[in-house]
């Protein structure tokens, strides 16, 4: 492609408002992102991902004024990132307590940004798998992270042990039977997770992307390839376009299996990119 052709292609950027250098940098298939310390008001949530990470994806896959959905909103990380990016957002959260925290966090974020109008950020309390999609606005992008199966119930996990010892932090999301993190059968969990994401297809704009942050999980001395199974099964509904691997290099190593067996310290997640071909 000649330079004039490249310049013309840049002018036709219909996806985002990034300059060519920022666009190219985002195309790297792996990245290191070490989350900043969590605020006290969201520590209660046992598996929160960082707003700073969500913002990078939102600014690549959308333009200002477009609508971002997180169907498993937790304490509102995606919606905070959308506010900072000038995008409208909608979050759906099953746990009423987390939904309330998300609303408080968003109100504080709006105040800190000096927003008296501008982007909307709404939190719905409810089961994402049962929301009437006909009542939702058109969605331009989905950014979310599901439960990593029922791994928050694993009592031997170091992080979970620390949260139990604190006495006042949630160890798992909820006791609600509708909570996917309480499904103990792996195949049933994957099937229901795919069904939730597939249910939003009617309200997704054609060519809209979905980014799902997920991780393969270890249980009972075995790897369950959650990211790969989700890619395969949800890829029957949307087109699986790519993956980015999120690495963390600020984690302490633990001597799992030392002297007897191979057990890795897993400090990476998969950011799976799907597209609604419409």
DSSP letters spanning 71-119: SS-TTTHHHHHHHHHT-EEEEEES-HHHHHHHHHHHHHHHHHTT-SSSS
* Chain segment 91-150, per-residue pLDDT in tens: 999 999 999 999 999 999 999 999 888 899 999 999 999 999 999 999 999 999 999 887
* Chain segment 53-104, per-residue pLDDT in tens: 999 999 999 999 999 999 999 999 999 999 999 999 999 999 999 999 999 9
3-state SS class at 24:
helix
Q: Is the per-residue pLDDT at 199 higher than 90?
A: yes
CATH architecture designation of domain 39-275: 3-Layer(aba) Sandwich (3.40)
Q: Is the per-residue pLDDT at 170 higher than 50?
A: no
**The model's pTM:** 0.86
Query: For the chain, what is the mean pLDDT?
Result: 87
Rg, Å, the chain Cα set: 19
155: burial class by Cβ within 10 Å (0-12, 13-18, 19+)?
A: exposed
Q: Which of 16, 2, 275, 273 is nearest to 139 (CA)?
A: 275
- Running DSSP on this structure, what letter comes out for residue 32? E
Contact 109, 175 (CB under 8 A): no
């Amino acid at each position: 492609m000649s330079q004039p052709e490249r310049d013309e292609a840049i002018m036709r950027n219909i996806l985002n408002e990034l300059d060519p250098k920022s666009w190219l940098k985002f195309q790297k298939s792996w990245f290191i992102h070490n989350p900043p310390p969590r605020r006290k008001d969201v520590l209660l949530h046992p598996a929160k991902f960082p707003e700073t990470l969500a913002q990078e994806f939102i600014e690549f896959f959308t333009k200002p004024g477009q609508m971002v959905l997180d169907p498993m909103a937790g304490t509102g990380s995606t919606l905070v990132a959308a506010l900072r990016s000038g995008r409208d957002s909608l979050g759906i959260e099953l746990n009423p307590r987390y939904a309330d925290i998300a609303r408080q966090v968003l109100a504080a974020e709006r105040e800190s940004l000096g927003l008296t109008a501008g982007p909307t950020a709404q939190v719905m309390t409810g089961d994402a798998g049962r929301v009437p999609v006909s009542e939702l606005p058109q969605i331009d992008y989905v950014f979310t992270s599901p439960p990593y199966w029922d791994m928050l119930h694993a009592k031997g996990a170091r992080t979970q042990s620390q949260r139990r010892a604190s006495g006042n932090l949630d160890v798992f999301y909820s006791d609600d039977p509708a909570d996917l993190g309480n499904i103990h059968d792996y195949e049933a969990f994957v099937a229901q997770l795919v069904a939730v994401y597939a249910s939003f297809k009617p309200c997704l704009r054609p060519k809209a992307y979905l980014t799902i942050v997920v991780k393969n999980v270890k249980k009972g001395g075995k790897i369950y390839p959650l990211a790969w199974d989700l890619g395969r099964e949800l890829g029957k509904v949307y087109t699986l376009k790519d993956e980015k691997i999120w690495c963390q290099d600020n984690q302490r190593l633990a001597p799992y299996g030392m002297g007897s067996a191979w057990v890795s310290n897993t400090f990476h997640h998969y950011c799976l990119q799907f597209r609604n071909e419409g």
